[in-house]
Chains A and B, each alone.
Chain A
């Protein structure tokens, strides 16, 4: 597209120049023939008995008046500017009059005319006896002729420009195709894929750019890995002091009689629990994130069994909080490919959240189904529910729904969403079936889709 405008401008400029050239040569040719006519008339100027007259036969006059290129008007005036013959109202030549032959443009009977004025010496013996012959012609004919020439010049040019434009467009398109492929490759990438871009099949000129990009990607992925290692190390390092704190608090609680000191110790214990949870979640997140987010151990296993096992493990905790945790009897077996360790981590976070945010006496139900070939996990609770406006925000790190009162650091759903993404699964939050509570739905890709996804992944790595 951008090519059209300069070409159009170029073509216009060229046309103007062409028109000027055509005009000049047409003028030259027509002027010459105009001069011929003037000379013809001039030859017939005779002197008889001191009287000047023009001996124009009728046929010649008719010829002058019925030429193909338009009628000619003429006027012959004597040395003292006296009228001799022709059209008396032909416009006079402009002053100053110089030379023998003069061309000029003027108007006659309301039309533009080209006039030649010719000075002829008379053979009368007297000096300075010049006769002036003027011949005028409508400009219409020569303009028409110039236009025709112009048309014949610019049409092939236009054709040439169009053909050249198309060829250029095609060539540029072909040349840019690898760049377009590169763009698509980058656009289609997930944010966690920091592997090198393919260098082959790209034109020589682009390779340095790709190399530079690849180097940047590598540095970025090293930096990310270092950051994750740091988080993991920090979390690991925190675990031992927290274990000490927890053990000592527990011991102190056993030895302290009920009273204010014990209340303090209980608070301390609950703070320690929260620190424990935060550290564990930080580790989960570091594991689930890119670039470590690449599935390390891809296994095929039954989501039903995994979910049931995880649910079973959370029963004691649910009983502690007086929440009725159960596994839906209508659950179906559904094969999933991925990292069972990470998915277990995801289930733990979902169950922890559901139990944590459901009031005493509430219900949490886990279900695995196969919907149109896609394994789907749902965890439904009849707790307070999550307001619609907050449903996307709860997946952000350290975001907590205000007013829930439950302890928590707000990393649970961030971990869930990272792990789901790693497995190509979608997580959605909806209102519970009876209009209360929350349903978390994790929808996995159908197993055969999953297989190709895993293959793409290994190709890219």
Chain B
């Protein structure tokens, strides 16, 4: 996996490069916009991490030229500006994700993984959460290698929770996933599925937390 980092601040560029190399990515780093433009025209990458404020060409222009040439590589834009118009402009120009400096390194690494996965065909069909593994294609779940006995609805709820592990999923989102747009679904039904799921997962130390008035959250396990 090759990643291009375009960042003019040497300290930040060095930190990013080393962190991604630790994660076994092949990393190239340039510090000027026009240089990035040349490199991107000549070589192919699996991901570009692009700063907006660059000497030479600014990041938005680099992105615009890349997309005009038909380059489909995922681009994660880094910026010191978080005003709404800037954000919208970046996404309009074809950025795949957007992070405002200063960011958390683990968060950046997670997004890098997600973008690279998305860039590969189809994406992974396996979701893992500690000892819990969900095969979205095969519609089955295992806990520590042992198959879990889950109904289709329970599996659906678990899939949504695992996709957003560590974040809140509200009942509307769960209902959408389970029933499609048109069907009406009671909040009580969702509660029942979550309750059953919880009972089956709790012995293995996987807990689904209820967030008052907001929904549910699959708590990050020690290894997640």
Are B213 and A248 neighbours in the complex by a CB distance under 8 Å? no
CA–CA, A429 to B105, complex, Å? 36
Chain A CB within 8 A of B214 CB: yes
Chain A CB within 8 A of B18 CB: yes
Q: Taking CB as reference atom, which chain B residue is nearest A324?
A: B212
Extra contacts besides A251-B19, A326-B214, A366-B213 (19): CB < 8 Å: A239-B100, A240-B9, A240-B12, A240-B101, A241-B11, A243-B101, A243-B102, A245-B102, A246-B104, A247-B105, A248-B11, A251-B105, A279-B102, A287-B83, A312-B167, A312-B214, A324-B212, A326-B211, A327-B212
Q: Find A248's partner among B14, B214, B215, B219 (CB 8 Å cutoff).
A: B14
Q: Taking CB as reference atom, which chain A residue is nearest B219?
A: A319
Are A239 and B101 neighbours in the complex by a CB distance under 8 Å? yes
Smallest CB–CB gap between B56 and chain A, Å? 16
Are B15 and A312 neighbours in the complex by a CB distance under 8 Å? no
Are B12 and A315 neighbours in the complex by a CB distance under 8 Å? no
Chain A residues, CB < 8 A from B167: 312, 315-316
Chain B CB within 8 A of A185 CB: no
Are A276 and B15 neighbours in the complex by a CB distance under 8 Å? no
Interface centre among B82, B101, B209 (most CB of A within 10 A): B101
Are B211 and A315 neighbours in the complex by a CB distance under 8 Å? yes
Are A240 and B209 neighbours in the complex by a CB distance under 8 Å? no
Mask for B72-109, Cβ within 8 A of A = 1, else 0? 00000010111110000000000000001111111000
Chain A residues, CB < 8 A from B16: 247
Smallest CB–CB gap between B27 and chain A, Å? 13
Query: Can you list 27 A-B contacts with CB-CB less than 8 angstroms, sorted by A residue number?
Result: A241-B11, A242-B101, A243-B101, A243-B103, A244-B11, A245-B102, A246-B103, A247-B11, A247-B12, A247-B16, A248-B15, A251-B18, A272-B102, A308-B213, A311-B214, A312-B167, A312-B214, A315-B211, A315-B214, A319-B209, A326-B212, A326-B213, A326-B214, A327-B211, A327-B213, A327-B214, A329-B213
Are A315 and B102 neighbours in the complex by a CB distance under 8 Å? no
Q: Taking CB as reference atom, which chain B residue is nearest A252?
A: B15
A251-B15, A272-B102 as given contacts; A331 in contact with B9, CB under 8 Å: no
Interface residues of B in 1-58 (CB under 8 A from A): 9-12, 14-16, 18-19, 22, 53
CA–CA, A158 to B12, complex, Å? 89
Chain A CB within 8 A of B217 CB: yes
Are B213 and A328 neighbours in the complex by a CB distance under 8 Å? yes
Chain A CB within 8 A of B170 CB: yes
CA–CA, A324 to B209, complex, Å? 11
A244-B11, A312-B168 as given contacts; A239 in contact with B105, CB under 8 Å: no
Report the number of A-B residue pairs with Cβ-Cβ less than 8 Å.
101
Top 4 nearest A-B pairs by Cβ distance?
Answer: A326-B212, A327-B213, A247-B15, A244-B11
Q: Taking CB as reference atom, which chain B residue is nearest A308?
A: B214
Chain A residues, CB < 8 A from B130: none
Interface residues of A in 208-263 (CB under 8 A from B): 236-237, 239-248, 250-251, 254
Are A236 and B12 neighbours in the complex by a CB distance under 8 Å? no
Chain B CB within 8 A of A341 CB: yes
CA–CA, A114 to B106, complex, Å? 120
Interface residues of B in 141-175 (CB under 8 A from A): 166-168, 170
**Binding site of A, secondary structure by majority: helix, strand, loop or mixed?**
helix
Chain B: residues with Cβ within 8 Å of the partner, total of 36
Are B81 and A236 neighbours in the complex by a CB distance under 8 Å? yes
Q: Find B168's partner among A240, A250, A276, A315 (CB 8 Å cutoff).
A: A315
Mask for A263-280, Cβ within 8 A of B = 1, else 0? 000000000100010010
Interface residues of A in 348-379 (CB under 8 A from B): 365-366
CA–CA, A308 to B211, complex, Å? 12
Chain B CB within 8 A of A325 CB: yes
Are A319 and B213 neighbours in the complex by a CB distance under 8 Å? no
CA–CA, A57 to B9, complex, Å? 136
CA–CA, A270 to B15, complex, Å? 18
Chain A residues, CB < 8 A from B103: 243, 246
Smallest CB–CB gap between A437 and chain B, Å? 16
CA–CA, A308 to B212, complex, Å? 11
Are A240 and B80 neighbours in the complex by a CB distance under 8 Å? yes
Are A341 and B12 neighbours in the complex by a CB distance under 8 Å? no
Interface centre among A239, A243, A315 (most CB of B within 10 A): A243
Interface residues of B in 185-213 (CB under 8 A from A): 209, 211-213
Chain A residues, CB < 8 A from B11: 241, 244-245, 247-248
CA–CA, A236 to B219, complex, Å? 34
CA–CA, A250 to B105, complex, Å? 7
Are B170 and A312 neighbours in the complex by a CB distance under 8 Å? yes
Smallest CB–CB gap between B89 and chain A, Å? 15
Chain B CB within 8 A of A283 CB: yes
Q: Find A319's partner among B81, B84, B217 (CB 8 Å cutoff).
A: B217
Are A331 and B213 neighbours in the complex by a CB distance under 8 Å? yes
